[in-house]
């Protein structure tokens, strides 16, 4: 459900983003800042959430909030360094990767480094995009230089503080593992110097290390949250507890955008622990009923006792079978063109392939269901949630509450997964929680309210990866040279009608739907795109458009190779030529490490190959698969990864493994969201398949060495898994797979 937005009502930073402009930092007189900082009695960065007002020193006027170490580094008296991360940590490892980058240039003692989340303060906006954003695998890529410079600036301030203390030339000093070393055996720990360093000017220009001198970056490093998560001690947003806190759950319409016809809440109010039953507005013009109670159990018992009648007469009731028929009709119609090429050779091509691919809606299905805690006062709102876009959520919350943006603070919390669901253009989770908190306060409940979605709420009433249909007509010769490729994509647009559509949609085509098509292959392709509008809310899903485009491209190329009796690896290498060295390196690494073409496979097994670039990183898979009792089985996955410099190789390995398992889930029977007369038919993991431990293959992850600036790794491991698996099955059965999940019938 995509909604038109009045840009004038958006937070100013988003307005500036649309205009391709960057926000200018606010300033506070240096005297006022030092007075604020000195009152802390702590060390560098004692006030990480007032970064907009921290331009310290003569050079600070040229620095943005995202460049000031005071917002990001806190050094305690014992030398412990706490690094504030400017993103949401929800499994991808940025709460370790970003501190590694900063600690490298700070020359910190890694054993004393900790991390924490930031807020919606502008200091924690993406330094390139100018908005708070965890998505698109941009964290390490966009903040690599930023966090290096933050560490270098903090180190320079510590060195200057030591030089002033010892009355020596700063050039005679050096640092080592959290200590400043000086002539004559002098030494001082960072904890001793931090408060004095805080009062010094922030250097604008700093010299960064030569990568050959890195001692933290590039080393396989255990994640800072590993012990807490493996021991069950890690708190997530859903674990938020405040004094007097109440819990709310919501009864939602069975059909998207449905409204209430009647409400009988007498039985619900009689449930012990229920404090209020509130009629509330939901995303997209829908209505629901919130039950507020002492805890989640009492709230759900109250919700179960509600007697509700819904009015769905004025909303579209999408049906999956009818939808597929409509998509097929639409694929035959003229539409906007993303690419143009001469299709005349199709009529005379020696060989042809005509294929139709179908991809269903997919749920995000994160382990931690959606949640948001809100504490209101007369002129302030504090929010605790796992947010991928804290600034957008804060702005939407302020509007919903009738507050100014500066009166809302979003405290970003650790999240148990998200895969894109914790970043919607309407900020539906934050707005819904704020509307409930506001209604509860109006009803006399002056308490923090934690709104919790159940697994069923999320599965049946959340946002989904759009359903897509692809049609391809390909003409090629006996050597596999593609003469013409006519392609059509039908699927809902994710960004049309949202603020992001201003720079994602061009000539009626959403770029998120076509990313991954054609490149890196030199193919004469004509690409037509249709974006039907349906009453099903859609959103980005891990690796976005590449979830379907990679499957189409890599399985069709394999089919051409098989039809012309060419090795699929050699065929791809030929198409790469000398223009795509990163693709070539990733694929060759996977081939070499897997033993492809050299190792004899067990009877009944076959190789499968795929390679794909997304978010500026390339991942190649060579897999071993078989068919057992009519079902595909994935045995082994060998990957070659080119993400330039790997800040933490252990995190890269984990991301590839996790993304591949998610890609495997797409292939398994039952991995689909379907609708019948407007109602989602799946409700939990009992009828929506995700890969279990028994489905997991043996993994081997290999990284192409590189010293170039890092690219993203949160998502690129997902797209090529399904096509590599499908290509192996096609080798065994002789039949190409044209849909996800797999259907071998």
Q: How many helical (H) and strand (E) elements, i.e. helices and strands, does the chain have?
A: 19, 30
| Half-sphere exposure at residue 728, Cβ-oriented, CA atoms within 13 angstroms | 29
For every residue of 242-301, DSSP letters joined together read -TT-EEEEEE--SSTT-EEEEEE-HHHHTSTTEEEEEEEE-GGG-EEEEEEESSHHHHHH
Given a cut of 50, whether residue 572 has pLDDT beyond it is: yes
Distance of CA 177 to CAs 155, 219, 223, 338, Å? 11, 16, 19, 53
pTM of this prediction?
Answer: 0.91
Question: 545-561 burial, b for 16+ CB within 10 Å, e for fewer?
Answer: bbbbbbbbbbbbbbbbb
449 touches 299 (CB < 8 A):
no
| 28-73 pLDDT per residue, tens | 333 332 222 332 222 343 323 333 333 334 344 589 999 999 999 9
Distance CA 602, CA 24 (A): 62
Distance CA 679, CA 724 (A): 33
Distance CA 234, CA 131 (A): 28
**Which of 613, 359, 334 lies closest to 486, judged by CA?**
334
Given a cut of 70, whether residue 82 has pLDDT beyond it is: yes
| Half-sphere exposure at residue 698, Cβ-oriented, CA atoms within 13 angstroms | 6
Residue corresponding to tokens 């604008």 = 204
120 touches 392 (CB < 8 A):
no
Given a cut of 50, whether residue 1 has pLDDT beyond it is: no
Distance CA 691, CA 696 (A): 7
pLDDT at 604: 97
Q: Which two tokens stand for residue 601?
A: 């496979």
Pick from 52-61, 342-351, 574-583, 647-656: least confident: 52-61
| 417-458 pLDDT per residue, tens | 999 999 999 999 999 999 999 999 999 999 999 999 999 999
Given a cut of 90, whether residue 509 has pLDDT beyond it is: yes
712: which residues sit within 8 A by CB, 6+ positions away?
Answer: 136, 137, 138, 139, 140, 141, 615, 616, 617, 643
* Percent residues over pLDDT 90 in the chain: 90
- Length of the chain measured in residues: 745
Confidence of residue 464 (pLDDT cuts 50, 70, 90): very high
| Half-sphere exposure at residue 528, Cβ-oriented, CA atoms within 13 angstroms | 15
pLDDT at 462: 85
What is the dihedral angle through the alpha carbons of 706, 707, 709, 715, rounded to the nearest 10 degrees? 30
Mean pLDDT over residues 256-270, rounded? 98
302 touches 293 (CB < 8 A):
yes
Mean pLDDT over residues 375-393, rounded? 97
Given a cut of 50, whether residue 21 has pLDDT beyond it is: no
Q: Which two tokens stand for residue 241?
A: 């507890």
Mean pLDDT over residues 696-724, rounded? 98
Domains and their CATH numbers in the chain: 7-231 (3.30.365.10), 237-314+370-452 (3.30.365.10), 334-362+464-733 (3.30.365.10)
Q: How many other C-beta atoms are found inside a 10 Å radius of the C-beta of residue 507?
A: 8
| 639-652 pLDDT per residue, tens | 999 999 999 999 99
473: which residues sit within 8 A by CB, 6+ positions away?
Answer: 346, 352, 353, 354, 484, 485, 486, 487
Mean pLDDT over residues 5-27, rounded? 39
Mean pLDDT over residues 589-606, rounded? 97
Pick from 10-14, 299-303, 486-490, 666-670: least confident: 10-14
The strand ranges marked E within 108-172 are 113-117
pLDDT at 61: 56
**Which of 569, 562, 568 lies closest to 588, judged by CA?**
569
| 173-191 pLDDT per residue, tens | 999 999 999 999 999 999 9
Distance CA 463, CA 366 (A): 12
Bigger pLDDT: 510 or 51? 510
* Percent residues over pLDDT 70 in the chain: 92
Confidence of residue 14 (pLDDT cuts 50, 70, 90): very low
**Which of 721, 733, 718 lies closest to 562, judged by CA?**
733
């Amino acid at each position: 459900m995509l909604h038109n937005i009045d840009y004038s009502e958006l937070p100013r930073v988003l307005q500036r983003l649309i205009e391709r402009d960057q926000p200018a930092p606010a300033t506070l007189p240096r005297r006022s800042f030092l007075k604020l900082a000195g009152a802390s009695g702590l060390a560098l960065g004692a006030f990480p959430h007032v970064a907009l007002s921290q331009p310290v020193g003569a050079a600070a006027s040229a620095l943005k909030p995202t460049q000031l170490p005071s917002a990001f580094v806190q050094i305690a008296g014992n030398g412990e360094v706490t690094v504030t991360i400017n993103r949401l940590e929800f499994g991808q490892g940025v709460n370790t990767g970003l501190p590694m980058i900063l600690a490298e240039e700070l020359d910190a003692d890694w054993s004393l480094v900790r991390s924490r989340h930031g807020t919606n303060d502008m200091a924690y906006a993406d330094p390139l995009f100018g908005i708070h954003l965890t998505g698109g695998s941009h964290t390490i890529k966009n903040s690599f230089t930023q966090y290096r410079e933050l560490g270098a600036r903090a180190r320079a301030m510590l060195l200057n503080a030591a030089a002033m203390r010892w009355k020596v030339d700063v050039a005679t000093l050096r640092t080592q593992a959290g200590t400043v070393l000086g002539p004559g055996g002098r030494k001082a720990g960072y904890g001793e110097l931090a408060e004095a360093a805080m009062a010094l000017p922030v250097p604008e220009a700093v010299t960064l290390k030569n990568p050959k001198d890195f001692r933290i970056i590039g080393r396989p490093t255990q994640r800072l949250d590993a012990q807490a998560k493996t021991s069950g001690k890690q708190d997530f947003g859903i674990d938020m507890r405040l004094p007097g806190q109440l819990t709310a759950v919501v009864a939602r319409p069975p059909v998207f955008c449905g409204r209430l016809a009647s409400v009988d809440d007498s039985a619900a109010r009689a449930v012990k622990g229920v404090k209020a039953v509130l009629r509330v507005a939901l995303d997209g013009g829908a209505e629901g009923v919130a039950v507020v109670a002492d805890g989640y159990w009492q709230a759900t018992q109250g919700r179960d006792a509600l007697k509700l009648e819904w009015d769905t007469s004025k909303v579209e009731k999408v049906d999956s079978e009818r939808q597929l028929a409509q998509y097929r009709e639409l694929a035959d119609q003229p539409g906007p063109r993303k690419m143009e090429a001469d299709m005349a050779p199709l009529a005379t091509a020696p060989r042809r392939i005509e294929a139709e691919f179908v991809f269903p809606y997919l749920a995000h299905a994160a382990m931690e269901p959606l949640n948001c805690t809100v504490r209101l006062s007369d002129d302030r709102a504090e929010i605790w949630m796992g947010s991928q876009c804290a600034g957008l959520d804060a702005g939407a919350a302020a509007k919903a509450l009738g507050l100014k943006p500066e009166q809302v603070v979003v405290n970003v919390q650790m999240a148990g997964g998200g895969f894109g669901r914790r970043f919607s253009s309407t900020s539906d989770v934050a707005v819904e929680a704020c509307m409930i908190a506001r209604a509860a306060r109006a009803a006399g409940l002056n308490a923090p309210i934690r709104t919790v979605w159940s697994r069923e709420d999320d599965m049946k009433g959340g946002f989904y990866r759009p359903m897509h249909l692809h049609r391809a007509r390909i003409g090629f010769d006996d050597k596999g040279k593609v003469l013409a490729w006519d392609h059509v994509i039908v699927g809902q647009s994710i960004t049309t009608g949202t603020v992001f559509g201003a720079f994602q949609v061009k000539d009626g085509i959403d770029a998120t739907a076509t990313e991954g098509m054609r490149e890196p292959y030199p193919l004469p392709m004509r690409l037509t795109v249709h974006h039907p509008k349906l009453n099903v809310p859609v959103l980005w899903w891990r690796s976005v458009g590449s979830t379907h485009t990679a499957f189409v491209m890599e399985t069709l190329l394999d089919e051409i190779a098989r039809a012309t009796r060419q090795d699929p690896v050699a065929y791809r290498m030929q198409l790469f030529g000398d223009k795509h060295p990163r693709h070539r390196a990733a694929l060759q690494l996977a081939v070499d490490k897997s033993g492809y073409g050299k190792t004899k496979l067990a009877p009944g097994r076959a190789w499968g190959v795929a390679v794909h670039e997304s978010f500026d990183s390339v991942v190649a898979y060579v897999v071993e698969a078989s068919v057992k009792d009519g079902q595909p089985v994935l045995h082994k996955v060998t990957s070659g990864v080119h993400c330039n410099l790997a800040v933490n190789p252990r995190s890269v390995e984990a991301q590839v493994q996790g993304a591949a398992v998610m890609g495997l889930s797409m292939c398994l029977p039952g991995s689909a969201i379907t609708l019948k007369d407007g109602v989602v038919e799946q409700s939990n993991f009992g009828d929506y398949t995700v890969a279990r431990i028994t489905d997991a293959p043996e993994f081997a992850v290999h990284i192409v060495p590189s010293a170039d600036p890092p690219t993203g790794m949160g998502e690129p491991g997902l797209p090529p898994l399904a096509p590599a698996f499908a290509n192996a099955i096609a080798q065994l059965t002789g039949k190409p797979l044209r849909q996800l999940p797999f259907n071998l019938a």
